[in-house]
Structure 1
Amino acid sequence: MIRSASTEKRSCPLVTLEAGLIVTGGGMSGICCAITAAREGLEVVLVQDRSVLGGNASSEVRLWILGATSHMGNNNRWAREGGVIDEILVENMYRNPEGNPVILDAILLDKVVAEPNITLLLNTAVYEVEKSGNTITALKAFCSQNQTEYKLKAPLFCDASGDGVVGFLSGAAFRMGAEPMEEFNELFAPPESYGELLGHSLYFYSKDTGRPVKFVPPAFALTDITAIPRFRHFNAQDYGCKLWWIEYGGRMDTVYDTEKIKWELWKIVYGVWNHIKNSGEFPEAETLTLEWVGMIPGKRESRRFEGDYILRQQDVIEQRVHEDAVAFGGWSLDLHPSDGVYADQPGCTQWHSKGIYQIPYRCLYAGNISNLFLAGRIISVSHVAFGSSRVMATSAYVAQAAGMAAVLCTQLGCAPAALYRDGHLPALQQWLMRSGQFIPGIIANDTTDLVQDATIVASSELFLSVLTADTAPAPLDIAVAQLLPLQPGVIPAFSLHAYSEVPAVLQIEIRICSRNGSYTPDVTLATYDCTIQPGRNCIQLEPEVEIDQAQYVFIILHKNPLVSISRSAQRITGILSVFNTINPAVSNYGKQSAPDNIGIDSFEFWVAQRRPAGQNLAFRLKEPLQVFGPANIRNGIARPTTQPNAWVADPDDPSPALTLSWKTIKHIKKLILSFDTDFDHPMESVLMSHPEHVMVFCVRDYAIYDDKGNKVFEKKGNYQTRNSIAFHEAVSTTSLTFRFTHPSAHTPAAVFEIRVYENN
């Protein structure tokens, strides 16, 4: 028993923690930063002011994690982010294809607590920063649940808190609101600076109970639903983050007015639900009940901090090259009206770029605080560029680079800015790619990787000359294009079969992209008008055009519903069909027609379709594609870009295998294998369900043997992109043989990358 009658002032316990890196904010950015650094041996304290991890992705907010893939609604092919954020999304797909946000909470917690180098503090809010000059020495934080105060000391800090609490308290330079057009010559920026921001959103979930349910609204619910200009577009089917447009607060202080904004959003949510339940306009809602309403709003914008470079509109739209690139983005320039749900304008304005863009390292640290990394939506970007970089998968991807940079700073004993100033960015880029980060335009060059000096022998390789017509022909209700990875030279002759019941004309085009490495087919090389007779037609084309560099070529079959084309059930790594279709969720209406004065490109959208749709065209090539050889596993690129960048086995090979051999004995401690988990699939983390829990291209089973035929490792049921294998005792051998199983009868085994190391 404890009993105290003292009236003296008391204080809460103080716990001091020291680490190599303190990460503030347990959203997706903070999680990925902390895990990246911890896996490289850095002691990390992760401080989260909520009871769950995930931030806007958590069950408290329930927004799906998205980035450059943009719901598969843009021209960014194979653009899902890599590294830790990819690992999390693939894991969620496997465990949680139904998109249950509570399951995602558990997955995120599981990932963090599995790292022995991370100390996790939940329900703990940072409230004070201690400094020496322009250097942070410690943070003070308080946990409301155990009434404990913490002092967190480290040489390096990362602010991934969303609102930038550490940056703000430390005196880091920041901005709020839009810059004027003239500051960065951004044509999409306003003529004059203004303070309005993107607002907050609050979601709700409904559930069908199977019996009539009445709803009595709270007194604070919005009564005049016509105050929301889009009220005529309400429906009873939308819930969760499909209600992103329930937004408010853009004309307020999105930090200090958050509680006021939340109350207005509650007023709107309960008013919307009252209208759906009680207006009589939605009889289908009779059996629906309100299952969940968010308790905290999802924030979009508040502070943006100034680094040594401020990313701007031209970087996004023109895909400008930066020598210090460490990540990429690809979401649209997505800005919202300041009045949110009360605005007369559309809920958002989304302008897409023709491809993904680089994000430079100089955006990832505070320019005037010597040891503060920036991660998440607070990085150094203009308001216009922020419209793209702010989304969660992009934010998390950037945070991985910050986490790895902290490791390199620790090893070199330097401050964040010195990595760029003193020429250490190539090392950081190589470390990132070793961890699974894809950086457009950068090729891995790891001199410690034994595969670079190995002799590689494959049991077979795919020479693609035909995709078999094994499914019923489908009408050309929309235009379709087959992407083919070709080498420089004359485009090979090809043939396909078309069907029609009446005479018709099928127009076929051969196009390439004006920006090599992107997937916007805006340059036409040849056009053919093919006469189609009733019945089966064999179309044979022999292009007399050349390409001067390795790239994907688009064989486009234009829309003609009178004509049907044979399709193939075969799915092959690096081979893809795309369609000139629409996706209103991301402002894709088949073509982007931008005004002349905003600095945005106009172009067509050619997008992939989600399985089971999106089949390849059935075709035959006069000369087979020879782009799937075993040397691809060490070419330094672990996803399709201008080529498949994968070894793909012959589908008829009963036991596909790769053998790596060396002239001398190697003492192998670590292996990394990279497989195809379909980087085109956005893997939305919540709300949406998915047809698969394992990607169709992914190798599930494999085994590894030494030079004596001993099995040194075996994996059954793989579903992850990257498999990292550490041996407790070194494997001493002159060769390693990897034997794989084909994922299915329709999909041959493929490997993007194998790395072999003598050290962990």
Structure 2
Amino acid sequence: MTATGTVTVPYPASGILVEAEAFTHYGGWVLDSQYELEMGSPYLLAHGNGKPVADAKTAMTVPKGEEGEYNVWVRAKDWVPGHHPGRFNLVINGATLPIEFGANDKDWTWEFGGKVQLRAGKTTLTLHDLTGFCGRCDAIFFTKEDKLPPPNGVDEQARAWRRKLRGLPDQPVDGGTFDVVVVGGGVVGAAAALTAARLGERVALVHNRPFLGGNASVEVGLRPRGVTGPLVDELSARHPNGDIKAKTLLDAEAKATLFMEYTVYNAATTTTTTTTSAPTVTITSIDARHARTGREIRLRAPIFIDCSGRAILGLYAHAETLFGQESRAEYNESLAPPARDTTHHGNTVFFRTRMNSSPAPFPPVPWATAVAKDFSDLRGQLTRPGLENGDGPQVVLPPTTPVSVPRRMKGPLTHFWEYGNYLDPYTSGERIRDHLLRAIYGTFSNVKTLEPDTYANLALEWVAFVPATGEFRRYKGAYVLSEGDIRSHRPFHDGVVFNDGAFCLHYPNANASATPTNNDSGHAHARHHDYDFRLHYWEWDERDRHPYAVPLRCLYSANVANLLMAGKHVSATHIAISNMKFMGNGAQHALATAAAAHLCHKYATTPAGIYEQRGGQWLGELKELCARITGTGTHHAEDSKDRGERVKSRL
């Protein structure tokens, strides 16, 4: 939990580092490890929705002979500069330091807490929340050195400083060698790992959260859509507490090993160059770090499946990727914009309100209403895990939708709460989440303020701190699926699974100058011009409602030989991925990639090797295996247009 040590760096090199995530008792604080790759470390979050949370507590040991006067540094963040909504105190041996942390108008930084006298032996530390509005503490550092603050970056120098002071090895320890490693434990990754294990492969599943499911997890709560099938239904069924059953199923598989709360931060590769072909990159291992202990491990496998939804292995292995919206001309897509841009689907934070039997006070939140403005519509709630689009209080009617919009699109849609479409999803995730929290708190305050008698008892029952994430980079595979492929049900001789559903395109408010209109194909648009956290309009094109084929070539990297992918980052255009992104659809990719990994192991080949094998026996075997796993019988994916209805009924 605590460690002492000395390192050779230009900032304090000796002292006692206490990581907040290593506290013995979190109290009402929660561990937030989502943004470690952005800001450097997991941290504790005081997420009380306006009510200060219970204290987090721990103890550290001052070695004998090291007693004396120490400088105190606390790494914290003022997440709304000028307003300081996330303030907290540090209490040492019962004495509160005379500074409120999280109130310095700065992003993540080390704040000086003054000097304290410490005796040898046990010292107690307490984080005391003052607001209930997302105060956050990364670490506490005690040093006798009067130097510059500790390193504040996310680079290797900062990581080495932390490792040394925590007594951790300089290099990752061996975490094992497997037949296949799956990264990302959403519905897609869980499906890939479970399928691989049931096919007899020794599989490791690496996931950065304490719950499996991703956007369907109990931390978020979406219901898987698209094609599901027996296995997906099995693993996404929910326990009474809302958690999906994926972990229970995987824990029962002898061939499966779960690495929960591990963030992948590196991939080692080798490159083979020949005179007749382009260089071939192969991933040999990946490194992952545990959120609570900082333990770093190295996992090896001949095949890797990226189910992270953010092409994370591709970034580390320098795989070819796609990002944003392709232009209309690039793939001849009717729904694409005239010019290429970097707009992508944003994130959503779910919430739920309730009416108490007595008044539920809520403090003034000018820092939140600055985002919400006059918005006062709390519809679009998560009623319970797996049931979104719930109703809610509404004081002022939002901008209306056209009369011709289909009735079901006029409802209280959860996904109209969205932000981040223009920001870098890899470096701005925390900022996006925080903006949505401000929007929710501000809207809630507006409702209670505008009709104080009606909503005096209205309370926030639950607000997620883990957002439903949208679009990141997509891989470029041996083939890029496009809108035309889906609409025409293009036959693929390497079609391995089916996907289904509508083109689901989210457009933020910068498009307000080009207000669309409905047309006969069922496109639906909802207008929320004045609020940057509300979608401007939403394209929902159900096409012909028949399933379509997904070729194997969309499920492996174009330039990383042993990298398969499944989910919303497969090889497809922005328009095509708006249909393929549904969790049920991604799980179908997962089943196919697990089957492909199984055959790669069986025949000592690569995914491209399966596709390119002369005679096609391996590809034929893969298609038969996928048909058996998905329950589609002998209806191969190249038959999607002619046999769509029969296949759909089986899926």
Alignment TM-score, normalising by the size of structure 1: 0.53
Number of equivalenced pairs: 430
Q: Distance in 1 between matches of 2:585 and 2:2?
A: 53
Q: Deviations over 1:103-159 (max 9, x none)?
A: 334x12211211111111111111111011100000011112232110001101011
Q: Deviations over 1:19-52 (max 9, x none)?
A: 0001111111110000000111100111001111
Structure 1 pair 119/182, CA: closer, same or farther in 2 (3 Å)? Answer: same
Q: For 1:23, which of 179, 182, 195 is the aligned residue? A: 182
| Equivalence for 1:334 | 504
Q: Secondary structure, in 3 states, of the residue corresponding to 2:600?
A: helix
Contact 1:175 1:306 in 2 (8 A): yes
The answer on 1:196 being equivalent to 2:343 is yes
Within 5 Å, which residues of 2 pair with 1:179-258? 179-223=326-370, 225-226=372-373, 234-235=378-379, 241-242=388-389, 243-258=414-429
Structure 1 residue 289, shift from structure 2 partner = 1.6
Contact 1:204 1:294 in 2 (8 A): yes
Gaps of 5+ in 1: 69-80, 97-101, 445-513, 520-550, 552-636, 642-678, 680-760
The answer on 1:88 being equivalent to 2:235 is yes
Larger Rg: 1
Q: Deviations over 1:60-96 (max 9, x none)?
A: 222121114xxxxxxxxxxxx224213224x44xx65
The answer on 1:290 being equivalent to 2:437 is no
Q: Distance in 2 between matches of 1:164 and 1:156?
A: 15
Contact 2:352 2:381 in 1 (8 A): no
Structure 1 pair 15/332, CA: closer, same or farther in 2 (3 Å)? Answer: same
Q: For 2:259, which of 117, 121, 140 is the aligned residue? A: 121
Q: Distance in 2 between matches of 1:327 and 1:281?
A: 54
Q: Distance in 2 between matches of 1:83 and 1:151?
A: 33
Structure having greater relative contact order (Cα 8 Å, sep ≥ 6): 1
Q: Distance in 1 between matches of 2:604 and 2:449?
A: 65
Amino acid at match of 1:362: R
The answer on 1:394 being equivalent to 2:605 is no
Q: Secondary structure, in 3 states, of the residue corresponding to 1:377?
A: coil
Structure 1 pair 294/428, CA: closer, same or farther in 2 (3 Å)? Answer: same
Q: Distance in 1 between matches of 2:628 and 2:498?
A: 16
Contact 1:215 1:278 in 2 (8 A): no
Q: Deviations over 1:464-502 (max 9, x none)?
A: xxxxxxxxxxxxxxxxxxxxxxxxxxxxxxxxxxxxxxx
Structure 1 pair 234/126, CA: closer, same or farther in 2 (3 Å)? Answer: closer
Structure 1 residue 515, shift from structure 2 partner = 6.1
The answer on 1:55 being equivalent to 2:249 is no
Amino acid at match of 2:298: K
Q: Distance in 1 between matches of 2:299 and 2:417?
A: 38
Q: Distance in 1 between matches of 2:504 and 2:585?
A: 13
| Equivalence for 1:725 | none
Structure 1 pair 335/111, CA: closer, same or farther in 2 (3 Å)? Answer: same
Contact 2:221 2:382 in 1 (8 A): no
Structure 1 segments of 4+ aligned residues over 6 angstroms from their partners:
2-5
Contact 1:358 1:440 in 2 (8 A): no
Contact 1:42 1:117 in 2 (8 A): yes
Structure 1 pair 336/436, CA: closer, same or farther in 2 (3 Å)? Answer: closer
Structure 1 pair 110/357, CA: closer, same or farther in 2 (3 Å)? Answer: same
| Equivalence for 2:483 | 313
Structure 1 residue 292, shift from structure 2 partner = 1.2
Structure 1 pair 437/300, CA: closer, same or farther in 2 (3 Å)? Answer: farther
Structure 1 pair 515/137, CA: closer, same or farther in 2 (3 Å)? Answer: closer
| Equivalence for 1:431 | 625
Within 5 Å, which residues of 2 pair with 1:606-755? 640=649
| Equivalence for 1:159 | 306
| Equivalence for 1:111 | 249
Structure 1 pair 216/236, CA: closer, same or farther in 2 (3 Å)? Answer: farther
Amino acid at match of 1:310: V
Q: For 2:447, which of 276, 297, 301 is the aligned residue? A: 276
The answer on 1:175 being equivalent to 2:322 is yes
Q: For 1:304, which of 474, 479, 487 is the aligned residue? A: 474
Contact 1:129 1:169 in 2 (8 A): yes
Q: Distance in 2 between matches of 1:433 and 1:308?
A: 22
Q: For 1:36, which of 178, 195, 206 is the aligned residue? A: 195
Q: Distance in 1 between matches of 2:380 and 2:289?
A: 42
Structure 1 residue 405, shift from structure 2 partner = 0.8
Contact 2:368 2:441 in 1 (8 A): yes
Q: Deviations over 1:654-687 (max 9, x none)?
A: xxxxxxxxxxxxxxxxxxxxxxxxx6xxxxxxxx
Structure 1 residue 7, shift from structure 2 partner = 3.5
Identity %: 29
Q: Distance in 1 between matches of 2:259 and 2:357?
A: 42
Q: Distance in 1 between matches of 2:633 and 2:471?
A: 26
Q: Distance in 2 between matches of 1:178 and 1:197?
A: 7
Amino acid at match of 1:59: V
Contact 1:328 1:439 in 2 (8 A): no
Contact 2:507 2:535 in 1 (8 A): yes
Report the structure, 1 or 2, having the larger helix content: 2
Structure 1 residue 397, shift from structure 2 partner = 1.6
Structure 1 pair 518/399, CA: closer, same or farther in 2 (3 Å)? Answer: closer
Gaps of 5+ in 2: 8-163, 272-280, 390-413, 511-527
Contact 1:248 1:339 in 2 (8 A): no
Q: Secondary structure, in 3 states, of the residue corresponding to 2:369?
A: coil
Q: Which moved more, 1:157-166 or 1:201-210?
A: 201-210
Within 5 Å, which residues of 2 pair with 1:573-584? none
Q: Distance in 1 between matches of 2:259 and 2:580?
A: 27
The answer on 1:416 being equivalent to 2:607 is yes
Q: Secondary structure, in 3 states, of the residue corresponding to 2:234?
A: helix
Structure 1 pair 369/5, CA: closer, same or farther in 2 (3 Å)? Answer: closer
Contact 1:84 1:400 in 2 (8 A): no
Q: For 2:539, which of 339, 349, 370 is the aligned residue? A: 349
Structure 1 pair 44/274, CA: closer, same or farther in 2 (3 Å)? Answer: same
Q: For 2:270, which of 127, 132, 136 is the aligned residue? A: 132
Q: Distance in 2 between matches of 1:213 and 1:24?
A: 43
Q: Secondary structure, in 3 states, of the residue corresponding to 1:220?
A: helix
Contact 1:217 1:270 in 2 (8 A): no
Structure 1 pair 515/14, CA: closer, same or farther in 2 (3 Å)? Answer: closer
Q: Distance in 2 between matches of 1:255 and 1:124?
A: 17
Q: Distance in 2 between matches of 1:27 and 1:336?
A: 22
The answer on 1:14 being equivalent to 2:173 is yes
